[in-house]
Amino acid sequence: MPDPFNQDISSNKAVHIYFSQAYPLISYIDPEACLYLKEGKCGICESVCDNNAIDLNQKPEKVELKVGAILLSPGYEPFDPAVRGDYAYGTFENVVTSMDYERIICATGPYGGEILRASDNRHPHKIAWIQCVGSRQVTPGGNSYCSAVCCTYTQKQVMVTKEHDDEVECTIFHNDIRSWGKDFERFYQRAADSPGVRFIRSYVSIGKEDPKTKNVSIRYATTEEGVKEEEFDLVVLSVGLTPPAHHEGLADIYGIELNSHGFCKTNPVNPIETSRPGIFISGAFQGPIDIPESVISASGAEALCGEILDYRRGELAQKRVYPLERDTSNEEPKIGVFVCRCGANIGSVVDVPSVTDYASTLPNVVYAQEQLFSCATSYIQEIVEIIKEKGLNRLVIAACTPLNLEPTFRDALREAGINQYFLEMANIREHDSWVHSKEPEEATQKAKDLLRMSVARACHLEPLQEIELSVNKTALVIGGGIAGMTSALSIANQGHDVYLIEKAPDLGGMALRLLYSLEGLDVQDYVHDLVQKVYQHPLIHVYTDARITEATGYVGNFVTTVTSDRGLTEIQHGAAIIATGAEEYRPTEYLYGDNNKVMTYLELEEQIAKGDETLTNAETLVMIQCVGCRNEERNYCSRVCCSQAIKNALKLKEVNPDMDIYILFRDMRTYGFMEDYYREASEKDVKFIRYEPEDPPKVEAVEEGGRPVLRVTVTDPILGQRLAIDADYLALAAAVVPSSGNKEISQFFKLTLGPDGFFKEAHVKLRPVDFSTQGIFLCGMAHYPKHITESINQAYGAAGRTLTLLSHDIVTVSGAVCEVDEKKCIGCGACSSACTYGAIELREIKQGKKAVVNPVLCKGCGLCNTKCPTEAISLKHFTNEEFLSQIDEAIPKEETMQHMDMAVGHV
Amino acid sequence: MAGVSRLQYTTEARLIRVMCTGRVDLSFVLRGFSNGADGVFIGGCHPGECNYMVHGNYHALGMVHLCKRIMENIGINPERLRIAWCDAGEGIRFGRIMNEFTSKVKELGPLGQGEGMDENELKSKIEEVTKLIPYIKIAKKEKLESRLENEEDYSEFFTSEEIDTLFREVPSYYIEPDKCQACGICLRRCPVEAIVGGKNKIHVIDQEKCIKCGTCLEACPPKFGAVKKISGKPVPPPIPEEERTIDRKSKEK
């Protein structure tokens, strides 16, 4: 059967694991492929399964659930170019989609991680990517919107290709490069600067397929060289995102509306809300969005569902009760070792019985056993029983990475009445069987070594207690713009007190200067309504003209001091949201500040809103994009300016259709559905002229026919000549720059700023609203420039994350923190100066200065340990002793013995 | 990612999980070599992308470059130690680095043999340096604390001459018997209990135990000034047991 996970390029069996990273990693029967389910034949699998785990007569069941809220996350479908036969996809063997290629470059893909092409199973040396396939097209069968993610995923594919084989020539045929996301601009530069990579701005058409080589030729045109035809070994079509399959059926079932593109029609100010109350969405059903935006919307949905369901929060949760912990302090280490086969994942490579036998010979090991799946409930139960029966006090699991299952096995220890820190895992899957699958002997030896190291470490483990902290149920929101207010309202709506502090005299933030959105939202109405809701909410306490003077504490228990219009206030809170927004760059370019006809987009918008007639009656207006960013000093894209330009151009055209409007741009970045407005502007005769950063427009104030004009000269790349435009007004896309207060706030709350001065989230893709500092969350432009809806999306995301914390009475902090042996401490301060968390303090006692650790602030990185000259400070659970025991066992004893013998022989 | 992607790489490495490269102590690296490891590899997050606020990877880089100079000094090829950055998604890169490093180490040959050094000699040299770790950490405290802007700058951050001087100037601390008033301050402050003595017993530093931190020098009341820092000269032998008792009365006379 063709394997749909591998884009049908390779085949798979009817019984298979969906894909190698699937969780849980369990086989299933594909009803589309199973002979028994289709034709009633076969049934062999049922008879060979020793555990009787297969029931071919299982029937689908209907289950009725009563719920208070529904969250839809149906995802998206990649655009299928086969339908129209775009770019000879489906005809020429060596034309693949980006989704096909994504599988091809993957180690678990159809060619086992080798980049091969279908026609001859050989490595392609020249690969072309064609951008915007199925996107930014108004022809039938195409999609008018921009799919928003393809530019960056293509760059990623180029880099991965280069990692596979740096000799491959990569060519990307593109329209605008839309690197609008956080750090995307740098990523683009990395791809573009790699040797052998060409980015060519050109529309293309597929030429012919060479009948012998099966190479594919592409015709394209550049301004320098005119029309060219070039041959490639492989062509990748960067396909866009389309609505999920059966979106219409989905809409019918749930009674929700779709937009004109077939994605979900969302509330214009809340991209998580559908047209039907109580039904929310997350992910790409909102429209084409990338991973961080998807994750943000998922956290946001949590907040919105919470607003409906908060009154019964925790009702379905069950509290675990563990037996009393046995005191093992007087016992010798009694180690139990369990070696997991992980089905065939470990067992087919590593000789598990031999590893198990070896384990039982190791010092302090009193029990060793192999298991088929140590993480399965029945085997966990077995582990618990054996710990109790054999009186074990240490557990070593030789299985997979501790990242996923450490909590599960710690739980097994607790169930057996043993301290959970008496667990050590030897990773013989990710570090062994999976990466040495063709070398079973070496892999078995490595498994034994890793296990021996783990057993050695286990002997030194100590019981640790986790720190339980009470959670103050109050939240602090820093920043009273749209993001901050939205978060504050959602949290307050779920019964928590919220302190909302704003440095300006009024709430509203940057939105106070925005009059309308591209989609037609009246921003002023919206903001005023929001401000009113905030002030009317009994649980929200607003402090304006506010400034933080001090911040101390930790997750669940922060104390922040604020001076404001109400004087000095000490706020105790359990969580904080950073929503400090951003500022507009004050240009030094293009006569800004010297000539009152030169203004920024925000100023232009204010003038349009005022109905300034000299402006609206102007003959010519020029806009220049990327002023103050995408340059060396600010190496990022301000993300919002392209659509701001379009928005203002359309507004001016509405008032005065005869006005000549020029937009001088580098790449128009109207990603997603905003593309439609770009097209509309173009149709309304707004003129777009692209300029290169090396040859920016020039502006001078001159007199023309007796009236003062701004003469803007720019090279028109299509005409290939300098163009002079006499403008009455010049508007500048001034960059969005980080808030000037970011640095101070980052220091108060021990947060990190990225290279551009915006706050750095815990993980750019997977934890986009969290900080690595617990209890503090992030939203809005403090994170990165973004549109109002995106800010709101993230504001709900931050609220969702905050509520998860505040809904608990206690929060547990790891016991693996540092402690100081006072006797050994010489008070040198090397530890405290290394600890930027401020977890170590030097205190003067009778015996001199001594370091003292605040365990709640300690994050367990252990840097201080390596600074300490006397080994006085020690990270619990990762002590020098534990590491050295592993290092000592890393080299097989036999060899060490031989070494020693030889050494003796020498003497 | 190398694991989940089933990327095949060389089987020689044995991995030890640390929470941050900043946790890798100089002593861990030296212990690896002292156990006969032919190469030590430290892998961590890219600079600027430390999971912790402390930028542990920059500190690790400083430690590695210091360690490389020390290795040079005692005759071990510094290329046996490598630090490289790989984020969790860079499986291919990780596999490649492991392969590269392993073949580099194989090229260098077994530890000691490649250097033309006797194994015992090598081991004892490493042990000698290991003993000096507290001193090295104190002497280079400021440098080890600092974080350089560019990664490249680290390679010249520590120089061979500097390490020569560091080892040439290894101090010893000595209590001058005629000045010691047996007050017990240094004895109580010594972090490693290297000072022996008692009431009315002249204190003596056990040079074997001493980690050369200088706490005693700092602790000894200035009016006594009994602790002396000795550099480049041998330490006088400890005063014999039987001569250590202070006869207060005779002194007062």
Give the tens place of pLDDT for each residue, A202-231. Answer: 999 999 999 999 999 999 999 888 999 999
Residue type, A487: S
pLDDT value for A220 = 97
Provide DSSP, A334-389: -EEEEEE-TTHHHHTTS-HHHHHHHHHHSTTEEEEEEES-TTSHHHHHHHHHHHHH
- What share of chain B has pLDDT > 90, as a percent? 76
Bridge partners for A873 per DSSP: A820
Provide DSSP, A297-319: HHHHHHHHHHHHHGGGTTTT---
Contact B36 A895 (CB under 8 A): yes
CB contacts of A442 in chain B (<8 Å) are: 11
- What residues contact residue A877 under an 8 Å CB cut-off, 6+ apart? A421, A461, A462, A464, A815, A816, A860
CB contacts of A883 in chain B (<8 Å) are: 16, 18, 25, 28
Q: Is the pLDDT of residue A453 over 50?
A: yes
Contact A870 B192 (CB under 8 A): yes
Contact B14 A890 (CB under 8 A): yes
Q: Are the C-beta atoms of residues A509 and A480 closer than 8 Å to each other?
A: yes
pLDDT value for A791 = 97
Q: Between the CA of residue A605 and those of A647, A668, A735, B216, B235, what are the distances in Å?
A: 9, 19, 15, 71, 81
Q: Is the pLDDT of residue A898 over 70?
A: no
Mutate to test the interface with A, among B12, B53, B98, B118 (most CBs of A within 10 A): B53
CATH of domain A475-581+739-812: 3.50.50.60
Q: Does B146 touch chain A (CB under 8 A)?
A: no
Distance CA B20, CA A129 (A): 38
Q: What pLDDT digit, counting tens, does each position of A526-535 carry?
A: 999 999 999 9
Q: Does A865 touch chain B (CB under 8 A)?
A: yes
Q: What are phi and psi of A825, to 5 degrees?
A: -75, 130
CB contacts of A834 in chain B (<8 Å) are: 22, 54, 59, 145
pLDDT band at residue A903 under the 50/70/90 scheme:
very low
* Nearest by CB: B54 against A429, A434, A861: A861
Q: What pLDDT digit, counting tens, does each position of B11-66 carry?
A: 999 999 999 999 999 999 999 999 999 999 999 998 877 878 888 999 999 999 99
Distance CA B20, CA B42 (A): 10
Provide DSSP, A663-687: EEESS----GGGHHHHHHHHHTT-E
Contact B92 A164 (CB under 8 A): yes
Q: Using DSSP bridges, classify how beta strands A547-554 and A557-564 pair: parallel, antiparallel or unpaired.
A: antiparallel
Q: Does B83 touch chain A (CB under 8 A)?
A: no
Q: Which residue has the tokens 């012998």?
A: A212
- In this predicted model, which residue has the larger pLDDT, A886 or A21? A886
Give the chain B residue whose CA is nearest to the CA of A752. Answer: B53
Interface of A with B in 631-670 (CB under 8 A): none
| H helix intervals, A17-84 | 35-39, 44-48
Q: Is the pLDDT of residue B252 over 50?
A: no
Of residues B121, B25, B43, the one with CA closest to residue B76: B121
Distance CA A851, CA A729 (A): 63
Q: What is the ipTM of this complex?
A: 0.95
* Nearest by CB: A896 against B28, B36, B215: B36
Q: What pLDDT digit, counting tens, does each position of A285-321 carry?
A: 999 999 999 999 999 999 999 999 999 988 888 888 9
3-state helix, strand and coil shares in percent for chain A, rounded to the nearest 5: 30, 25, 45
Q: Does B26 touch chain A (CB under 8 A)?
A: yes
CB contacts of A439 in chain B (<8 Å) are: 11
Contact A824 B92 (CB under 8 A): no
pLDDT band at residue B150 under the 50/70/90 scheme:
confident
pTM comes to: 0.86
- What share of chain A has pLDDT > 90, as a percent? 85
Q: Say whether the peptide bond before residue A78 is cis (omega within 30 degrees of 0).
A: no
Q: Does A450 touch chain B (CB under 8 A)?
A: yes
Neighbour count for residue A402 (Cβ, 10 Å): 17
User: For residue A563, what are its two tokens?
Assistant: 């001076």
Q: Does A404 touch chain B (CB under 8 A)?
A: no
Residue B126 Rama label (left phi>0; alpha psi -120 to 50; beta): alpha
Q: What pLDDT digit, counting tens, does each position of A47-96 carry?
A: 999 888 899 998 999 999 999 999 999 999 999 999 998 899 999 999 99
For CATH 3.30.70.20, list the domain ranges present in chain A: 817-875
Q: Is the pLDDT of residue A895 over 80?
A: no
* Nearest by CB: A861 against B15, B28, B52: B52
Question: Which residues in B81-205 belong to E strands, given as ranges?
Answer: 81-85, 171-175, 195-198, 201-205
pLDDT value for A817 = 96
Q: Is the pLDDT of residue A905 over 80?
A: no
CATH of domain A584-737: 3.50.50.60
CB contacts of B92 in chain A (<8 Å) are: 160, 163-164
Of residues B2, B163, B146, B197, the one with CA closest to residue B69: B163
CB contacts of A750 in chain B (<8 Å) are: 53
CB-facing half-sphere around the CA of B117: CA atoms within 13 A: 22
Distance CA A867, CA B144 (A): 8
pLDDT value for A329 = 92
The continuous run of DSSP H or E covering A616 comes out as: helix A613-616
Q: Does A321 touch chain B (CB under 8 A)?
A: no
CB contacts of A833 in chain B (<8 Å) are: 145
* A802-808: average pLDDT: 96
CB contacts of A434 in chain B (<8 Å) are: 3-4, 6
Give the chain A residue whose CA is nearest to the CA of B96. Answer: A163
Lowest mean pLDDT among A248-252, A630-634, A716-720: A716-720
Q: Which 3-state string (H, E, C) describes A435-455?
A: CCCCCHHHHHHHHHHHHHHHH
Give the chain A residue whose CA is nearest to the CA of B32. Answer: A887
Q: What pLDDT digit, counting tens, does each position of A565-621 carry?
A: 999 999 999 999 999 999 999 999 999 999 999 999 999 999 999 999 999 999 999
Q: What are phi and psi of A547, to 5 degrees?
A: -145, 140
Q: Is the pLDDT of residue A882 over 80?
A: yes
User: How close A322 gets to chain B, by Cα (Å)?
Assistant: 28
Distance CA A417, CA A437 (A): 37
Q: Are the C-beta atoms of residues B98 and B9 closer than 8 Å to each other?
A: yes
Given CATH 3.50.50.60, say whether it is the number of domain A77-242. yes
Q: Does A888 touch chain B (CB under 8 A)?
A: yes
User: How close A821 gets to chain B, by Cα (Å)?
Assistant: 9
CATH class label, A335-462 = alpha beta
At residue B94's C-alpha, the angle toward residues B88 and B96, to 5°, is: 155
Give the chain A residue whose CA is nearest to the CA of B95. Answer: A435
User: For residue A10, what are its two tokens?
Assistant: 């390779």
Q: Does A437 touch chain B (CB under 8 A)?
A: yes
Q: What pLDDT digit, counting tens, does each position of A382-407 carry?
A: 999 999 999 999 999 999 999 889 99
pLDDT band at residue A899 under the 50/70/90 scheme:
very low
Interface of B with A in 176-195 (CB under 8 A): 188-189, 191-192
| DSSP secondary structure letter of residue A267 | B
Give the chain B residue whose CA is nearest to the CA of A821. Answer: B191
Q: Are the C-beta atoms of residues A657 and A681 closer than 8 Å to each other?
A: no
For CATH 3.50.50.60, list the domain ranges present in chain A: 77-242, 475-581+739-812, 584-737
Q: What pLDDT digit, counting tens, does each position of A318-337 carry?
A: 888 999 999 999 999 999 99
Give the chain A residue whose CA is nearest to the CA of B7. Answer: A435
- In this predicted model, which residue has the larger pLDDT, A788 or A892? A788
Of residues A632, A644, A640, the one with CA closest to residue A781: A640
Q: Are the C-beta atoms of residues A242 and A75 closer than 8 Å to each other?
A: no
Q: Is the pLDDT of residue A872 over 50?
A: yes
Residue type, A109: G
User: What is the domain partition of chain B in residue ranges?
Assistant: 21-168, 171-252
Distance CA B98, CA A188 (A): 27
Q: Between the CA of residue B129 and those of A4, A19, A898, B229, what are the distances in Å?
A: 59, 50, 25, 20
Contact A903 B120 (CB under 8 A): yes
* B124-137: average pLDDT: 95
Interface of A with B in 283-302 (CB under 8 A): none
For CATH 3.40.50, list the domain ranges present in chain A: 335-462
- In this predicted model, which residue has the larger pLDDT, A896 or A782? A782
Residue type, A892: P
CATH class label, A817-875 = alpha beta
Say which CATH topology domain B171-252 has.
Alpha-Beta Plaits (3.30.70)
Burial class (CB in 10 A: 0-12, 13-18, 19+), A625: buried
Residue B36 Rama label (left phi>0; alpha psi -120 to 50; beta): left
Q: Are the C-beta atoms of residues A547 and A564 closer than 8 Å to each other?
A: yes
Contact A401 B36 (CB under 8 A): no
